[in-house]
Structure 1
Amino acid sequence: MKGKIAILAIFLASPIISNAADIPLLGNTKAQLHQLCGKALDVEIIKMDSKTTVMGLKNKQTNNFDLFMSSEQSPEQIIYSKFTPVKYDALSNNYIPTDDQDLDIIWGSSRDNSGKTSYSLTLGTKTYSCGILQPWPSERADEIYGESS
């Protein structure tokens, strides 16, 4: 019985624990969506007003997010697109392409005949299956009612 209560407590606390992470900044904007690809590839997404997509991938050497922008506009359902490296320029408030254009990154989704959507990320010649693309939780309640830092 104690084991069942412990499992129930862990299950109920898991959304709180998973939402406790800070939402990463991609330039000056917080990521809107996130997902896990492969075993540990953290993908962060911002859908821009211009219908382009900005992606943040955690660089395993620097532990910072490197930024990439889709090469074409995406409809509501994000289809496969090539992503090119960009840097955020605080003066112009824009993402600017970098000279490092030899990185081959493709990310997006497809639907099978049954309507199931699946995502994948291709880095060079290696393709990783991705989990569910999910929105980050709103921080509004904490901003209004949470403890001050």
Structure 2
Amino acid sequence: MKIAQIALPVPLLQIFDYLIPFKIKPVIGSRVKVVFGHRIMIGIVVNLCKNSALDPLKLKYINTILDQESLFFPGLWNMLLFSANYYHYPLGLMLTNSLPNILKKGKEKKYQFLYKKKKYVAIIQKTFLHYIKKKILFYI
């Protein structure tokens, strides 16, 4: 039984386990729709594993996968994971806030990211780090 660990945009310092249906193959860093409580939310796949600490009968299934590839390039992904851990900020909020608004709403990705061009990577990382520090310091 395959399980996806998903970060949801909720103010909790944990990730949530969901069962992966047989025909669906999520990718780490892709968006998925899941049921959370009485709502359908968009989360980001953080990890894929075979076992869960919870009883598999209590886990819910992933509804749909919105992306076939990761939305984050490796450098940004590692920086976001480090930032969430270092600043004790919820990973789901950190990852979701790093996305454009149109992707937060579950719309289809219709463009190429700039990370394919290496000269823009440093500018994007520097700007994003500055934004995250301002946002986190505002809440503290």
Q: Specify the TM-score bucket, using the shorter chain as the normaliser.
A: under 0.3
The structure that is strand-richer by fraction is 1
TM-score (normalised: structure 1): 0.27
The structure that is helix-richer by fraction is 2
Asked which structure has the greater CA Rg, the reply is: 1
